[in-house]
């Protein structure tokens, strides 16, 4: 059922705060802060761009209220006038566009903390609990006095937020297994004081927090809470996350308990539930990868809506306008929370309102530019939108001198170079030797769970047309072409070629490349061996098992699969769990020695093993194609290699490389 898009653009009230529409910007981690913890100009520009882009409510990244326990970098405990003045610049600018903005206030990760930035010398939790990332590290229980200190710091932090002009605060939270959530769940709370035992006691940390904030800031000051409806945990450990649709016994919070909790939170004084699902064990519910379905948390959010009268906001791949509009129009939820899609396209809300869906640059769920950068201590950005977090630095400005630009290669990197060059006013011709634009991203997007990848190609094709790029299909470029067109600047975006398997029997008809498998240009038998346990190889194995019913074994030379730079834990753990659920065989430390008439022969733990296979798919990497560049680099024009032709990388590398060079012409 398609929903009326207008439903997303009706006003709503959260406590005393009126929001102009039903679209919230989800809280996403940012390191763009001044030394005092206030948002710097990069962060202000990021949020203001989304306010200008039409969102009704912005929920900021979490700011710690204190720095004595489980410390985070930014803190409200010592915030002075400079903090309030800096953030007043943000709130004033956001308000100019009719949006509301609430500050997410936090008090620690507890057992979720990671090494380096995320681990300190005094790991704490609700009770003695193992660290998520390092199970050998045990977190001690907070004392009663320490819990009460944290509660008061929430109130003090909210008061600072109010003085800085924020329209409310969001408590972080009974969400994703963070510290307050560890108090709420029986599996992580074995306390015997007033903050443990019964459900009401386990929620006392959360309920006393909102009461303290209201006492300090006034009953009319809106307070939201980030809330994971269901935990999807099978136990402690990164391999203990449940998958969508899986039949399992809930270790954390189930729906029955969640209904009671929602009512308790409402009665305590919270003005809205900003909901999703999961803990760090099932991180992929809160940060859904490409393998997650659209609106993956909607069913659970709409369940708790039945038990409360306060607004329920739903996050989790809510970027399909029709699904979201129907959910709001039918009253199943009150509003949607959109995160990464607003990084990919800050004008998402405005484009939805005007029904320009094909102009929306789609989020592809990779997490490479956002979550992975944040957890690596870098400023949050976006793999497909390099402007995120550096809106001023990366502003697209007209070129001082208009030039004739030739782009050789119509893959993603080539199309990005052409798009940016055209937006800056250059005359751009793009040459593609095949009959399709997209390059290696065409096979990469062919799997059933890569719909957003397909949309990204379509988006680029439309942008080339809209920006006036002249596209020459089925055209090989050589020195004669260059002499005839007389370009001032050439982008050589000729991509890469699959690395060859160099063992006895590699020329067997059984052996096909990853591209041939993805494009289905060669037949694939029932028994398949994939050589290469990187992201592409494992995704092919999963796709063949899930969609084609094939029996798949994966061979990887390294000690484990998916050792891919830039691959976020949410994506990695979900894919690993999917591999396990679909009974895909994994052989690590496996060195292929020969292709035989039976299948694949390889060395494993000092022994020679042979696997039977009808088809053998090689996914062992790519080699940059620099041949054309070598032939034309002295042609008289300024020639630059970009994308995989320069260095084999991921999509983020290809786009950022093209963007940076196109901006410099």
Query: What are the residue numbers of the active site?
Result: 178
Residue 201: Cβ within 10 Å count: 17
CA-nearest of 415, 421, 429, 420 to 481 is 429
Closest by CA position to 50, among listed 84, 21, 81: 21
Q: What pairing do the DSSP bridges indicate for beta strands 599-604 and 590-595?
A: antiparallel
Instruction: Return the SS3 of 33.
Output: strand
Per-residue three-class SS string for 74-116: CECCCCCHHHHHHHHHHHHHHHHCCCEEEEEEECCCHHHCCCH
DSSP annotation string for 322-373: HHHHHHHHTTS-SEEEE-HHHHH-TTHHHHHHTT-GGGSPPP-S--TTTHHH
Name the phi and psi angles at 272, rounded to 5: -165, 155
CA distances from 548 to 448, 519, 543 (A): 11, 14, 7
Strand partners, 641: 492
Helix (H, G, I), strand (E, B) or coil at 129: strand
By C-alpha distance, which of 83, 336, 312 is closest to 91? Answer: 83
Residue 320: how many other CB atoms lie within 10 Å: 18
Length of the chain counted residue by residue:
665
- Tell me which H or E stretch contains 622: strand 622-624
133: phi then psi, degrees, rounded to nearest 5: -85, -30
Nearest alpha-carbon partner for 645 in 386, 419, 409: 409
Cα 621 to Cα 563: distance, rounded to the nearest angstrom: 13
Burial class of 589 by CB neighbour count within 10 A (0 to 12, 13 to 18, 19+): middle
- 86 alpha carbon, distance to own chain's centre: 28
CB 132 within 8 A of CB 281: yes
The residue assigned the tokens 């061996």 is 529
């Amino acid at each position: 059922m398609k929903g009326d898009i207008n439903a997303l653009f009706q006003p709503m009230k959260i406590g005393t705060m009126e929001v102009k529409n039903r679209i919230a910007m989800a809280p996403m981690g940012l390191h763009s802060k001044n030394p005092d913890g206030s948002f710097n100009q990069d962060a202000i520009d990021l949020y203001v761009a989304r306010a200008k882009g039409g969102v009704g409510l912005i929920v900021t990244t979490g700011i710690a209220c204190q720095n004595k326990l489980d410390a985070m970098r930014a803190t409200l405990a010592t915030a002075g006038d400079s903090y309030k003045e800096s953030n007043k610049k943000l709130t004033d600018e956001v308000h100019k566009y009719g949006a509301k903005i609430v500050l997410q206030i936090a008090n620690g990760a507890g057992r979720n903390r990671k090494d380096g930035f995320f681990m300190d010398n005094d790991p704490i939790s609700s009770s003695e609990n193992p660290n998520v990332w390092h199970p050998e590290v045990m977190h001690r229980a907070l004392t009663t006095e320490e819990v009460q200190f944290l509660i008061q710091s929430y109130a003090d932090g909210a008061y600072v937020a109010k003085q800085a002009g924020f329209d409310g605060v969001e408590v972080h939270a009974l969400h994703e297994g963070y510290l307050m959530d560890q108090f709420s769940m029986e599996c992580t709370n074995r306390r015997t004081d007033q903050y443990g035992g019964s459900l009401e006691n386990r929620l006392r940390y959360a309920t006393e927090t909102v009461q303290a904030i209201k006492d300090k800031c006034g009953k009319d000051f809106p307070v939201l809470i980030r809330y994971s409806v269901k935990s999807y945990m099978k136990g402690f450990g990164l391999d203990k996350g449940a998958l969508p649709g899986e039949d399992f016994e809930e270790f954390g919070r189930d729906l029955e308990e969640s209904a009671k909790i929602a009512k308790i939170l409402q009665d305590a004084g919270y003005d809205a539930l900003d909901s999703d699902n999961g803990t760090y064990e099932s991180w992929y519910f809160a940060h859904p990868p490409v393998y997650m379905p659209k609106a993956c948390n909607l069913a659970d959010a709409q369940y708790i809506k039945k038990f409360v009268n306060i607004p329920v906001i739903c996050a989790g791949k809510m970027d399909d306008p029709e699904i979201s509009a129907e959910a709001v129009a039918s009253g199943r939820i009150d509003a949607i929370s959109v995160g990464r899609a607003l990084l990919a396209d800050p004008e998402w809300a405005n484009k939805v309102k005007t029904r320009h869906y094909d102009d929306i640059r789609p989020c592809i769920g990779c997490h490479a530019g956002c979550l992975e950068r944040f957890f690596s201590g870098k400023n949050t950005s976006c793999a497909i939108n390099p402007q995120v977090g550096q809106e001023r630095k990366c502003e697209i400005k007209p070129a001082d001198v208009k030039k004739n630009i030739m782009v050789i290669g119509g893959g993603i990197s080539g199309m990005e170079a052409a798009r940016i060059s055209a937006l800056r006013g250059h005359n751009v011709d793009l040459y593609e030797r095949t009959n399709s634009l997209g390059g290696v991203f065409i096979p990469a997007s062919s799997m059933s769970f890569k719909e957003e990848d397909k949309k990204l190609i379509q988006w680029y094709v439309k942008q080339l047309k809209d920006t006036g790029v002249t596209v020459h299909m089925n055209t090989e470029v050589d020195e004669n072409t260059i002499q005839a067109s007389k370009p001032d600047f050439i982008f050589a975006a000729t991509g890469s070629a699959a690395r060859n398997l160099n063992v006895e029997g590699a020329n067997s008809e059984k052996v096909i490349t990853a591209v041939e498998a993805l494009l289905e240009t060669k037949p694939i038998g029932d028994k398949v061996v994939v050589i290469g346990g990187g992201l592409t190889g494992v995704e092919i194995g999963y796709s063949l098992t899930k969609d084609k019913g094939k029996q798949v074994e994966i061979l990887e030379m390294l000690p484990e699969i998916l050792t891919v730079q830039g691959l976020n834990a949410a994506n990695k753990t979900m894919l690993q769990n999917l591999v396990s659920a679909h009974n895909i065989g994994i052989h690590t430390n496996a060195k292929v020695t020969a292709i035989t008439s039976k299948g694949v022969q390889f060395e494993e733990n000092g022994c020679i093993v042979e696997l039977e296979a009808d088809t053998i798919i090689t996914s062992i990497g790519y080699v940059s194609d620099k041949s054309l560049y070598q032939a034309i680099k002295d042609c008289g024009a300024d020639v630059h290699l970009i994308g995989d032709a320069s260095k084999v990388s991921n999509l983020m590398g290809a786009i950022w490389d093209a963007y940076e060079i196109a901006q410099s012409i």
